[in-house]
Amino acid sequence: MDIAAANSMTYEEFMDVFGNIVEKCPLITAAVWSKRPFDNFLDLENSVFEFIDSLSTSGKQGVLRCHPDLAGRELMSGTLTTESKREQHQSGLTSLRPEERQKLNQLNACYKEKFGFPFVICAKLNDKARILQELSERFENSPQEELQNGIEEVKKICHLRLQDLCSPGMPTKL
Amino acid sequence: MDIAAANSMTYEEFMDVFGNIVEKCPLITAAVWSKRPFDNFLDLENSVFEFIDSLSTSGKQGVLRCHPDLAGRELMSGTLTTESKREQHQSGLTSLRPEERQKLNQLNACYKEKFGFPFVICAKLNDKARILQELSERFENSPQEELQNGIEEVKKICHLRLQDLCSPGMPTKL
pLDDT at B168: 55
Q: Do B31 and A61 touch (CB under 8 A)?
A: yes
Q: Do A116 and B54 touch (CB under 8 A)?
A: no
Question: Which of B35, B66, B116 minimises the CB distance to A58?
Answer: B35
How far does B158 lie from chain A, in Å, by closest CA? 16
Query: Minimum mean pLDDT among A142-156, B69-83, B140-154: which range?
Result: B69-83
Label each residue of chain B as H, E or C: CCHHHHHCCCHHHHHHHHCCCCCCCHHHHHHHHHHCCCCCHHHHHHHHHHHHHHCCHHHHHHHHHCCCCCCCHHHHHCCCCHHHHHHHHHCCHHHCCHHHHHHHHHHHHHHHHHHCCCCCCCHHHCCHHHHHHHHHHHCCCCHHHHHHHHHHHHHHHHHHHHHHHHCCCCCCCC
Task: Please check the confidence at residue A174 and state whether its pLDDT lies above 70.
Answer: no
pLDDT in tens, A84-140: 999 999 999 988 999 999 999 999 999 999 999 999 999 999 999 999 999 999 999
Q: Which residue of B has its CA nearest to A31?
A: B62
CB-CB neighbors (< 8 A) of A27 in chain B: 24-25, 27-28, 59, 62-63, 66
Question: Which of B15, B35, B58 minimises the CB distance to A35?
Answer: B58
| ipTM computed for the complex | 0.94
Q: What is the largest CA-CA distance in chain A?
A: 50
Question: Which of B26, B34, B56 minimises the CB distance to A58?
Answer: B34
Question: Which of A29, A34, A61 minimises the CB distance to B34?
Answer: A61
Site from B8, B12, B29 to mutate, A interface, most A CB atoms within 10 angstroms? B12
Task: Please check the confidence at residue A57 and state whether its pLDDT lies above 70.
Answer: yes
- Does the global pTM surpass 0.90? yes
pLDDT at A172: 47
CB-CB neighbors (< 8 A) of A63 in chain B: 27, 30
CB pairs under 8 A between A and B: 95
Q: Do B30 and A61 touch (CB under 8 A)?
A: yes
CB-CB neighbors (< 8 A) of A11 in chain B: 65, 112, 116-117
pLDDT in tens, B158-167: 999 999 998 8
Q: Would you mind telling me the total number of residues written for chain B in this entry?
A: 174
Q: Do B24 and A26 touch (CB under 8 A)?
A: yes
Instruction: Estimate the share of chain B in helix, then strand, then coil, as percent rounded to the nearest 5.
Output: 70, 0, 30
Catalytic positions of A are 67
Average pLDDT value for residue range B70-93: 91
Task: Kindly tell me the burial class for residue B110, based on how many C-beta atoms sit within 10 Å of its own C-beta (0-12, 13-18, 19 or more).
Answer: middle
pLDDT at A105: 95
